[in-house]
Amino acid sequence: MLDFILAVDNGWEGLPAALAEAERYALEALSVPEAERHFDIAAKGLVRGAGCKSYRSFVNGSVMVYVIRLEDKCVVKTWTPTARGDGFGLKEGEAIACDPAAAIETLAPVVRKALESA
């Protein structure tokens, strides 16, 4: 997982801009040799960035949405805390297929739906 935290400004209205910024960051990271990329091992940066003291406290009440974009495929997946509360698991049946050619900003309603469904 790339090591960066991106705040969404202006609530749902700011989500398209945040998605565009995240994609820009991810594409920029791909241009760097893998050995030089900043990875967040064990999500320590996410935990700190969220103001939590432990991974378990970070997981509690969190929802993760992954936007996976390839040349021929785009899917949005929702991850929620496991029953034990010690990690995340893919929410069954919640993968949403999207147009891989669509601009990332246009996926904001899909990402919002994924977040709200959790």
* pLDDT tens readout for residues 17-44: 999 998 998 888 888 888 887 776 667 7
Beta 96-98 vs 74-81: how paired, if at all? antiparallel
Residue (of 8, 77, 83, 5) closest to 44 by Cα position: 5
Q: Domain range spanning residue 72?
A: 11-117
Q: 1 in a domain, yes or no?
A: no
Q: For residues 66 and 80, give the distance between their C-alpha atoms in angstroms, rounded to a whole number.
A: 11
Q: 55 in a domain, yes or no?
A: yes
What is the number of structural domains in the chain?
A: 1
**pTM for this entry:** 0.79
Instruction: Give the SS3 label for residue 102.
Output: coil
